[in-house]
Amino acid sequence: MNETYRKQVANFIRKNNLQTLSKVDFDNGGFYVLDKDDSLIKIPTKDLNKYLKVPIGTKIKE
């Protein structure tokens, strides 16, 4: 995952009052985060893509 995605995902997590578990909280299916009650939730990639400017997996010229 490149830096653009990391920033977009970080903004999504911050706006939704979520916290990441660690540096390895992403797989091809989505992101794993903790909600306000410290419950583990998974945000599927397809749902997360609604909030990103460029969907995860899109090739970007760097």
Q: Per-block average pLDDT, block size 10, for the chain (62 residues)? A: 69 73 62 76 77 69 66
Q: What is the pLDDT of residue 17?
A: 73
Instruction: Record the pTM.
Output: 0.44
Q: What is the pLDDT of residue 41?
A: 79
Phi, psi of 2 (to 5 degrees): -85, 175
Q: What is the pLDDT of residue 24?
A: 47
Contact 11, 18 (CB under 8 A): no
Q: Tell whether 62 is covered by a domain.
A: no
Q: Tell whether 7 is covered by a domain.
A: yes
Q: Tell whether 47 is covered by a domain.
A: yes
Query: Which residue segment(s) compose the domain that 27 sits in?
Result: 3-51
Tokens, residue 19: 């916290």
Q: What is the separation of C-alpha 31 from the centre of its chain, rounded to a whole number of angstroms?
A: 5
